[in-house]
Structure 1
Amino acid sequence: MVTCASCGLQHTDGPVCSLCKQHFDFSCAGITEGGYRKLGDRKNSWRCPKCKSGLSPSPVSPSPLTDQLDRIQAQLNDVVLQLAPLASLVEDVKMIKCDLKDLKESHELVQEALNNFSVTLQALETRVTKVENIARDVPTLQAEIAKLHHELEDRDQWARANNIEIRGIPQKKNENLYEIAHKIGVICNAPIKKEEINYIARIPTRIPNIEKPIIIAFNNRYTKEELVASSRRNKQHLNLSGLGFSTAGDFYIHDHLTLRNKNLLSKAKKLAKEKNFKYIWVKHCKIMARKSDTSPIFFIKGEKDLLKIT
């Protein structure tokens, strides 16, 4: 018997995440027992919803790309330490040069000392040259780190391209997420078949006191895009009563964005409200903006693009 890392219940069989190495029962894993058996050798690379979504840190060994980032970061830390004494080191060299000039004009007995100072000066100048060479590499290293972070973010968002995130649906004990998905498809006029779903699960959220959102990963991106478009056309019908809940309220269907893109979207919407921007929306997991009906559309890919909202 093992304990499910999600619900805490004991079970005899279920998948094990290849990243966090935790056990899950089939319900919490978002996969049927039959579907898991069909994975074959791919069981060894199966990931739980938390690890697959990227919202939960993984205790496993970092990827080669992360190792590369760590090595570059270590180099930068070393550069910072070496650059710290650079200013005083240059001043010391200047002072030593002046002292050497005075000593050469004085007594012959200090000649040996002058030779020693010359050796010291040469060593110091060599160190300064090395530090200056390292300093010239800093912008390149910083650009490389930024590029790697951007590539990681793009890969993370690309992995969610077939996913939707549904918020606002209360969680019930022993709920059937496939049944909820089917009802949502009916409401949106975009029927959802069970075989079109890769996995479906609730995921943790960092926002306190709200229901865990439901993530649906489709096998086909066109199915996902059609559902998102239909939900926008029928957003007036996206209420809990249509799902059989007695409580009033609406639920919302969005593209499954990474945490970085969610924060970027939140900032963009806040700025748009302040600057009287009419449109901020997400399409194909990309944040788009438009000031008015006749204004050009532009993408918001990073913090710098927020400056365009004026």
Structure 2
Amino acid sequence: MATNNVTCSACLNIIKHKQYLVCSTCSQKYDIGCLNITEKRFLSLDTEKKNNWLCVKCKSKQPKKDNSNTPIRGTLQDNQSSLSQNSDCQNQNITKRKKASKTDVSPSTSTCGNELITDDVSYGSLLSTLTHEIHVAVNEAVNKTVESYFAKQFESLKEELSTLKDLKSSIEFLSADYDRVKTDLQICNEKLMSLTKENTKLTESVKDLNSRLSMLEQYSRERNIEINGIPEGKEENLFTVVKQLCTTVSVPIMDNDIVTCVRIRKMNPQSKIPRPVVVKLQSTKLRDEIIAGLSKFNRRDRENKLNTSHLGYGCSKQPIYVSEHLTPYLKSLHAQTRLLAREKKYKYVWIRNGRILVRKDDNSPAIPIKNLDSLKLIE
């Protein structure tokens, strides 16, 4: 039985299983892996084969058996005996002649020798002639083969050259077309640069004109105030409402101080707030007095700022705002400024003479907001 100490004589590793063979002569043990025997083949061997198994070394040491009675050896012996008999028979039928001495040479023999020499000369000349003809034929064949080969190659080269000529003409055409396109592109780039510069100038001019137009438009509204939050009614008297508002903020006015008083359309038609009221006064001084009085009124009672109840409206209290009458562009800019100032935590945003001003706190300087680019100053 195999133990854990059994070592394979081939790989010198310990055999950890029972699948190995023991040589019946030298008693050396070999693993089936080293013997290149599958497990299925090993299990199919019976006990007798396992007990009589010999390793390669022991098989090589066994003596070879006698093979004198093999069919091949018998045939070879018979052939050798028949060959010896045939050689004896042939020797019996051969007539042996005596060698002629040097003194026995006759004129006939010399004559025969001359004939042999003549035959050798004619054979040599024939051989040289045949060799020459063969060389000539081979040379002609080689020359024809080479000529035909090079003729085919030249034809292919001619075709390739014609193709190259066509390709050259196509490339020249494309090159000329490319040069033309390149020139046109350069001209277009120059025109584009010129148009870009011109567009930049025109844009600056348009901005300047818009700014001037906005200033002129705002100048035409310098005596106006805009009131938001006054409820609308079918039989409303805006002059009376405006006088009541001015009396509330302690700035009484007369009828002749109001030039016009009308409602204007809303910026957002979908909004439910009342349409704003625009009042055109006799002077900018009066406008500033009304706005300053409103500011003082709201500061005196921050919990009860100007609302609809102060003007005699019995509905729910709604705040009323009074400001300078701005152009649509300045209104939009003012709205964006307020949003950005609230985001950046600026404390003050106000309008003075058509200009939008912001201030971060009481100790900070006022920043004028003239256009959208000025919004970058709010940090």
Counterpart for residue 324 of structure 2: 255
Q: Indicate the SS of the match to 1:234.
A: helix
The offset of 1:231, in angstroms, is: 0.8
Q: How does 1:192-231 map to 2 (within 5 A)?
A: 192-207=253-268, 208-231=271-294
* CA gap 1:294/1:175 in 2 versus in 1, 3 angstroms: same
Counterpart for residue 291 of structure 1: 360
CA distance in 2, matches of 1:258, 1:182: 24
The question of whether the paired residues in 2 share the 8 Å contact of 1:164 and 1:216 is answered with yes
Counterpart for residue 197 of structure 2: 136
The offset of 1:282, in angstroms, is: 1.4
Deviations 1:140-195 (A, max 9, x none): 12211111121122222221111111111111111111111110111011112111
The question of whether the paired residues in 2 share the 8 Å contact of 1:239 and 1:248 is answered with no
The question of whether the paired residues in 2 share the 8 Å contact of 1:169 and 1:211 is answered with yes
CA distance in 2, matches of 1:115, 1:256: 66
Counterpart for residue 179 of structure 1: 240
The question of whether the paired residues in 2 share the 8 Å contact of 1:290 and 1:298 is answered with yes
Higher RCO structure, 1 or 2 (CA under 8 Å, sep 6+):
1
CA distance in 2, matches of 1:125, 1:148: 34
Letter of the 2:362 partner, please give it: D
The offset of 1:119, in angstroms, is: 9.1
Counterpart for residue 245 of structure 1: 313
1:276 counterpart (326, 341, 345):
345
Q: Indicate the SS of the match to 2:376.
A: helix
Counterpart for residue 304 of structure 1: 373
The offset of 1:134, in angstroms, is: 3.0
* CA gap 1:129/1:268 in 2 versus in 1, 3 angstroms: closer
Gaps of 5+ in 1: 1-105
RMSD over aligned Cα atoms = 2.8
* CA gap 1:264/1:123 in 2 versus in 1, 3 angstroms: closer
Counterpart for residue 233 of structure 1: 296
The question of whether the paired residues in 2 share the 8 Å contact of 1:181 and 1:192 is answered with no
* CA gap 1:193/1:136 in 2 versus in 1, 3 angstroms: same
**TM-score, normalised via structure 1 length:** 0.58
CA distance in 1, matches of 2:230, 2:257: 21
% identical aligned pairs? 27
Larger Rg: 2
The offset of 1:253, in angstroms, is: 0.8
Range with bigger deviation, 133-142 or 199-208: 133-142
Letter of the 1:175 partner, please give it: E
The offset of 1:115, in angstroms, is: 10
Gaps of 5+ in 2: 1-167
CA distance in 1, matches of 2:221, 2:290: 15
Q: Indicate the SS of the match to 1:169.
A: coil
The question of whether the paired residues in 2 share the 8 Å contact of 1:161 and 1:284 is answered with yes
The question of whether the paired residues in 2 share the 8 Å contact of 1:281 and 1:287 is answered with yes
Letter of the 2:341 partner, please give it: A
Q: Indicate the SS of the match to 1:238.
A: coil
Q: Indicate the SS of the match to 1:184.
A: helix
CA distance in 1, matches of 2:176, 2:310: 92
Range with bigger deviation, 235-244 or 127-136: 127-136
* CA gap 1:132/1:200 in 2 versus in 1, 3 angstroms: same
CA distance in 2, matches of 1:303, 1:191: 38
CA distance in 2, matches of 1:144, 1:127: 25
**Is 1:166 equivalent to 2:233 in the alignment?**
no
Deviations 1:83-115 (A, max 9, x none): xxxxxxxxxxxxxxxxxxxxxxx99xx99xx99
Q: Indicate the SS of the match to 1:217.
A: strand
CA distance in 1, matches of 2:339, 2:176: 68
Counterpart for residue 47 of structure 2: none
CA distance in 1, matches of 2:192, 2:376: 36
The offset of 1:133, in angstroms, is: 3.1
Range with bigger deviation, 136-145 or 200-209: 136-145
Counterpart for residue 149 of structure 1: 210
CA distance in 2, matches of 1:180, 1:272: 33
